[in-house]
């Protein structure tokens, strides 16, 4: 037994559970990986991780079965937390407004789901969107609460997104991105860069910007790299193909803006419009067009393509 916040708790190993079927309410969950000492309960770890949410709110969520372990089992407020494991918890939004855009499933097997994400739809619950996230939509549509995104895509960017169907093999797909064993291509519309010779490679150092949700380029050793090609030249804008060789936040958007060719209708670069309402008739002209890799489980060659429109060009 060990003292935690003035009381005694017993040490135990982290249990493994058989995944359970979740209600549609339970499927509208956010995920967080909590780091805490072994003798800490999940309730205490969540209170420390989210100090702006009262302990009363967390206790209510535990009571209603709205805090789950990674396998989908409802947790008790007295359950010990296993450091580094994922926790699912319900974020409840009153009068969440629908996003009038539809995703497409490109591929599905026992390990992987690949979707074509529309503009404006976040991948995971964030801010005012919980049910209106690609993850929640797919969890409900496929009746699989263990779905988890393997990589990220900005809310304003459309295109190919991969999800793991179970925790057991998730890391093997995530390793494709960490080890740069996956080929990614994007397409964008932006002003002409007639002064450059193509293909053009931009290498810069990108760090977190101010405010926190932006990125910025600074002097120093480059940690980002993008190859830029021209697909088609138009009088007002050019159609570009972008190859990100690294995965820094907002890398493509920042690189294009820094070159003097910000992506059309980008709300952040070079000028930030934080109070701008979504205009569903004018999406940002950036699409994650393809993903290509060798499947780490089957060894098959995978090649997924988004067929969404970018401006008036497919």
Please give the mean pLDDT across all residues of the chain: 86
The mean-pLDDT minimum among 72-81, 216-225, 254-263 falls in 72-81
Residue 157 and residue 174 in contact, taking contact as beta carbons nearer than 8 Å: no
**Where does the pLDDT of residue 102 fall: very low under 50, low under 70, confident under 90, or very high at 90 and above?**
very high
Residue 27: CB atoms within 10 A of its CB come to 23
Residue 3 pLDDT > 80: no
pLDDT at 12: 33
Provide CATH code, domain 184-294. Answer: 3.30.2350.10
Q: Considering the entire predicted model, what is its pTM?
A: 0.75
Residue 13 pLDDT > 50: no
Residue 1 pLDDT > 80: no
pLDDT, tens digit, 9 for 90 and up, residues 179-225: 999 999 999 999 999 999 999 999 999 999 888 889 999 999 999 99
pLDDT at 2: 34
pLDDT at 72: 80
Rounded to 5°, angle at Cα 197 from 192 and 200: 90
Cα gap 75→111, rounded to integer Å: 26
CA–CA distances in Å: residue 187 to residues 114, 190, 242, 286, 309: 19, 10, 6, 6, 10
Residue 9: CB atoms within 10 A of its CB come to 17
The domain limits of the chain are 2-90, 104-176, 184-294
pLDDT at 247: 92
Q: Which of 31, 49, 259 is nearest to 147 (CA)?
A: 31
pLDDT at 131: 81
Provide CATH code, domain 2-90. Answer: 3.10.290.10
276 burial class (0-12, 13-18, 19+ CB within 10 angstroms)? exposed
The mean-pLDDT minimum among 116-120, 164-168, 303-307 falls in 164-168
Cα gap 161→290, rounded to integer Å: 9
**Where does the pLDDT of residue 38 fall: very low under 50, low under 70, confident under 90, or very high at 90 and above?**
low
Architecture of domain 104-176: 2-Layer Sandwich (3.30)
Per the model's pLDDT, the better-predicted residue between 273 and 195 turns out to be 195
Counting residues of the chain whose pLDDT is more than 90, the rounded percentage is: 60
pLDDT, tens digit, 9 for 90 and up, residues 138-183: 998 999 988 999 999 999 999 999 999 988 899 999 999 999 999 9
Per the model's pLDDT, the better-predicted residue between 312 and 80 turns out to be 80
Cα gap 239→190, rounded to integer Å: 7
């Amino acid at each position: 037994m060990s003292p935690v916040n003035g009381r005694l708790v017993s040490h135990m190993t982290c249990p493994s559970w058989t995944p359970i079927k979740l209600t549609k309410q339970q499927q509208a969950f956010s995920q967080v990986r909590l780091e805490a000492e072994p003798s800490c309960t999940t309730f205490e770890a969540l209170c420390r991780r989210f100090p702006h949410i009262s302990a009363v709110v967390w206790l209510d969520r535990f009571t209603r079965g709205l805090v789950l372990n990674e396998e989908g089992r409802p947790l008790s407020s007295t359950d010990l937390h296993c450091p580094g494991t994922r926790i699912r918890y319900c974020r409840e939004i009153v009068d969440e407004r629908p996003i009038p855009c539809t995703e497409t499933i490109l591929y599905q097997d026992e390990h992987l789901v690949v979707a074509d994400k529309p503009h404006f739809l976040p991948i995971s619950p964030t801010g005012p969107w919980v049910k209106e996230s690609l993850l929640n939509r797919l969890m409900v549509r496929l009746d699989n609460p263990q779905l988890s995104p393997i990589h990220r895509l900005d809310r304003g960017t459309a295109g190919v997104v991969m999800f793991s169907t179970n925790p057991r093999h998730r890391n093997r797909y995530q390793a494709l991105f960490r080890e740069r064993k996956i080929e990614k291509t994007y397409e964008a519309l932006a002003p002409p860069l007639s002064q450059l010779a193509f293909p053009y490679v931009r290498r810069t150092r990108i760090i977190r910007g101010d405010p926190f949700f932006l990125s910025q380029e600074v002097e120093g050793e480059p940690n980002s790299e993008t190859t830029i090609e021209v697909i088609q030249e138009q009088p007002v804008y050019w159609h570009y193909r972008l190859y990100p060789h690294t995965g820094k936040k907002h890398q493509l958007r920042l690189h294009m803006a820094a070159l003097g060719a910000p992506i059309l209708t980008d709300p952040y670069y070079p000028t930030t419009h934080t109070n701008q309402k979504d205009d569903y008739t004018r999406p940002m002209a950036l699409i994650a067009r393809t993903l290509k890799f060798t499947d780490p489980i089957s060894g098959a060659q995978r090649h997924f393509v988004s067929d969404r429109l970018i401006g008036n060009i497919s």
